């Protein structure tokens, strides 16, 4: 297990929620994605699908892991797309993209990988 990644995932989830509530949706999208990614990476390290020091192609590897392992993998891709748009494109992530169903599904996905990594 990689407890530091789990701690970062928890911290980034809280930050995403605070930033979203403050109306800073671009930063919220970034933190939400990294919260999901860190939980997936912690799981991947535990089961030997990644190493802690891996930095090349880790995002696409995480996406493949979620795709192969979870029926709600589209949500991970949606979060990744929101993060890429918020970080690299001129348009902003809209508050409406953080609707209740998206947030509920994101927390379920994060919790799933968090439990696998810790358990």
User: What pLDDT does 35 receive?
Assistant: 98
Question: How many structural domains compose the chain?
Answer: 1
User: What pLDDT does 13 receive?
Assistant: 98
Q: Name 98's Cβ contacts closer than 8 Å, sequence gap at least 6.
A: 20, 25, 28, 32
**Residue range of the domain that includes 7:** 3-118
Q: Which one, of 80, 66, 65, 76, lies nearest residue 105 by Cα?
A: 76
User: What pLDDT does 92 receive?
Assistant: 93
**CB neighbour class for 58 (10 Å; exposed up to 12, middle 13-18, buried from 19):** middle
CATH code for position 8:
1.20.120.330
Tens of pLDDT along 17-74?
999 999 999 999 999 999 999 999 999 999 999 988 888 899 999 999 999 987 788 9
User: What pLDDT does 51 receive?
Assistant: 86
Q: Which contacts qualify for 47-55: CB closer than 8 Å, 24 or more apart?
A: 47/116, 52/2
Tens of pLDDT along 76-86?
999 999 999 99
Q: Are 42 and 113 in contact (CB under 8 A)?
A: yes
Q: What are phi and psi of 33, to 5 degrees?
A: -60, -45
């Amino acid at each position: 297990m990689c407890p530091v990644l789990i701690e970062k995932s928890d911290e980034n989830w809280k930050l995403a929620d605070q930033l979203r509530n403050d109306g800073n949706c671009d930063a919220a999208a970034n933190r939400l994605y990294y919260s999901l990614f860190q939980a997936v990476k912690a799981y991947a390290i535990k089961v030997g699908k990644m190493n802690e020091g891996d930095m090349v192609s880790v995002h696409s590897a995480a996406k493949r892991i979620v795709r192969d392992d979870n029926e709600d993998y589209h949500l991970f891709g949606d979060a990744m797309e929101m993060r890429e748009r918020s970080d690299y494109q001129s348009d902003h992530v809209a508050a409406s993209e953080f609707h209740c169903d998206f947030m509920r599904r994101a927390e379920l996905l994060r919790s799933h990988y968090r439990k696998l990594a810790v358990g």
